[in-house]
Amino acid sequence: MTSVLRLTKLDAALRQLSRAIQMHFDEDDPVCTHTLAGAASILLTDLVEHHAPGSTWEQKAQEDNQLTKSAFFRIARKAQNFLKHARDDPTETIDFNPSDTDALLTLAVFNASELGPLPPSADTFQLWSLALLCPDDMKAESPFREAIGYFGDLQRMTRAEQLASGRKGLLEMANP
């Protein structure tokens, strides 16, 4: 007999996020990883907007890039929307870059951090993304210095090495 799970939206989002991070670092199916990350991202964005209107990390990124809301989401969620809708464009194709999932997961993790403590997988991803995205002129500053000290200079690594470093960190942080 199947048990019924009672979940809050935050519970569901954090479970989706944790599994998507694991899949991402394991180099599991990139389409499924992006789809799951997208589901978590939408829930977390909605929850942050509900708790603190106007303070999502998508809004911060939109403002930093001087984009309208619709322009930002058209760019940021292009692959995500392609992977979940077919009504208006059943024959469309996309050139999907699995590294686009980095940005989607980064925004989701930063939104999750606005709602409470992060699960170990999201803590790991947050630190990994800081090491990955650190501007060269800020590598000596905290928290970038700590992230690079832990994961290495991800910008100088191949994609496989970057993900292997994340996988190693996930194992270490989940089992201290």
Beta carbons of 42 and 50 less than 8 angstroms apart: no
The domain total for the chain is 1
At 176 the pLDDT is: 64
> 155 lies in a domain?
yes
Tell me which residue of 40, 42, 45 sits closest to 11, measured CA to CA. 40
Q: Which of 17-26, 38-47, 62-71, 153-162 has the lowest mean pLDDT?
A: 62-71
Instruction: Report if residue 25 sits inside a domain.
Output: yes
Residues 83-129 have pLDDT tens digits of 888 888 899 999 999 999 999 999 999 999 999 999 999 999 999 99
Per residue in 137-152, pLDDT tens?
Answer: 888 888 899 999 999 9
Which string of DSSP letters, residue by residue, matches 128-160? HHHHHH--GGGTTSTTHHHHHHHH--GGGS-HH
Q: Is residue 51 part of a domain?
A: yes
Q: Is residue 103 part of a domain?
A: yes
- Condensed to tens digits (0 to 9), the pLDDT of residues 118-133 reads 999 999 999 999 999 9
Domain of residue 88 covers: 11-174
Establish if 1 belongs to a structural domain. Answer: no
Give residue 4's Cα distance to chain centre.
Answer: 28
What does pTM read for this prediction?
Answer: 0.91
Domain membership flag for residue 110: yes
Q: Is residue 120 part of a domain?
A: yes
